[in-house]
Amino acid sequence: MYTAVGTQPDITFAILTLSQFLNNPGHIHWEAVKRVFRYLSGTKDLGLTFGGGKDRLEGYTDTDGASQDHRRAISGYAFLINGGAVSWSSRKQELIMLLTAKAEYMAATHAAKEAVWL
């Protein structure tokens, strides 16, 4: 979990999904864990950088629109300052939304709260 939160935000969704099966992992879950480790091994020399000539805060948000079996949308956001990621989140929404637009609205609300804090 430290790797997903502290150093590799790009694996957060995979870790979130795999963490749901910690009590009783199946063969397919172990294969997915091995795939995450192979990805980490292949990207160990890459890192987050600051710079790029932009002196501004940029934010991005998205949601999957409840396409998972649990019917809860998984939403996330990422904020960059000068081209480097400084804040990100990926989580399952607390409520089951009947419309994709409502799930997107909730994701935008959480991202806006983070933007105000930043």
Residues 116 and 62 in one domain: yes
Q: What is the mean pLDDT of residues 7-22?
A: 81
Positive or negative CA dihedral for 85, 2, 90, 66? Answer: positive
DSSP assigned state of 54: -
The structure tokens 């002196």 sit at 55
Instruction: Provide the H-helix boundaries in 1-118.
Output: 2, 12-19, 27-42, 100-117
Q: Cβ–Cβ contacts within 10 Å for residue 97, how many?
A: 19
Q: Which residues pair with 87 in a beta bridge?
A: 79
Residues 61 and 110 in one domain: yes
pLDDT at 84 over 80: no
pLDDT in tens, 91-104: 877 777 777 778 88
Question: In the chain, how many domains are there?
Answer: 2
Out of 3-7, 13-17, 43-47, 112-116, give the one with best mean pLDDT.
Answer: 112-116
Residues 115 and 64 in one domain: yes
pLDDT at 88: 83
Residues 61 and 113 in one domain: yes
